[in-house]
Amino acid sequence: MTIDNKVLACVDQSAYADHVTDYAAWAAQRMAAPLELLHVIDRHPETSLSKDHSGSLTPNAQEHLLGELAEADEARTKAAREQGRLFLNRLRERALAAGVMTVDVRQRMGHLDETLHEQQAGVRLFVLGRRGESANNTQRDLGRNVERVVRALDRPILTVTEGFKAPERVLIAFDGSSITRRGVEMVAASPLFQGLPVHVLMSGKASQDGPKQMAWATETLESAGYGVVGEIVPGDPETTIAQAIQSKGIDLLVMGAYTHSPLRSLFVGSRTTDLLRSARIPTLLLR
């Protein structure tokens, strides 16, 4: 076990943090990897103040106001850190109770995507929630930031939904592109999905080399000991994948994200968001 193999779970102070922790604990145990729980405190500037700062203040009054603002900001930061410490300790105990041997916790001030980008050199797998602390009240929920976060990272990212269920059936959205071929190889080499049946699905426009690509994918996974079913279903990828998830009882989806592959029209913009929301299952995004 090395530090480069850790699972990093990004959590915020919401009910969704428990689900993120549960999936991260599941992944860490499957991969025999250490787990880190990261809480990023995003400092937002105040948009309104009770004091007059219109420019008509005297220099002494301006200095006094700035001092008050600095003190108030320091107090808010201190309170946020303390709340975060208690929150992380609770989640750490939850992960330990789930059986994870090594669990670390960390807090950072900054922006989510920038902080995760800085951390990724030591990460084997990221785990994120699709919704976050302010999901019920504002448009600042993590779900609306998934694309921005995913684009900032070069590691696999497991985006999870509300509620935890240990995955039992895996679907790989495969199109023969380099990113999805690497995805098949990653699944074959990783202990994360060992012992689980895997369904490989090709959709979109039919191609002459489709059967050859599918044969490679199924043979690669079978060589690694997986029970595999390969299927080529021409048609709209979003519709085809959604139908397969429902009809086959899929628990986890593996797909490329924000690439120039034949599935590019699916994995950019609002269609990705729509699929992630409608699927309601964990999705491993590949970069």
Which tens digits make up the pLDDT trace of 196-224? Answer: 999 999 988 878 889 999 999 999 999 99
pLDDT for 142 beyond 90: no
Question: Is residue 127 located within the same domain as residue 197?
Answer: no
Q: In this predicted structure, what is the pLDDT of residue 266?
A: 46
Mean of per-residue pLDDT scores for the chain: 81
Structure tokens at 75: 């107090």
Structure tokens at 159: 């985006």
Structure tokens at 260: 């120039």
Q: In this predicted structure, what is the pLDDT of residue 236?
A: 84
234 within a domain of the structure (yes/no): yes
Question: Is residue 214 located within the same domain as residue 187?
Answer: yes
Question: Is residue 103 located within the same domain as residue 128?
Answer: yes
Higher pLDDT, 93 or 52: 93
- Its domain, for residue 211, covers 170-282
Question: Is residue 85 located within the same domain as residue 201?
Answer: no
Question: Is residue 131 located within the same domain as residue 234?
Answer: no
Question: Is residue 155 located within the same domain as residue 277?
Answer: no
273 within a domain of the structure (yes/no): yes
Domain end point (choices 139, 160, 181): 160
CATH number, domain of 271, equals 3.40.50.620
211 within a domain of the structure (yes/no): yes
| Confidence band for 140, pLDDT divided at 50, 70 and 90 | very low
pLDDT for 158 beyond 50: yes
| Confidence band for 52, pLDDT divided at 50, 70 and 90 | very low
Question: Is residue 117 located within the same domain as residue 145?
Answer: yes
Q: How far apart are CA 184 and CA 147, in angstroms?
A: 22
* Residues linked to residue 10 through DSSP beta bridges, in sequence order: 38
Question: Is residue 155 located within the same domain as residue 260?
Answer: no
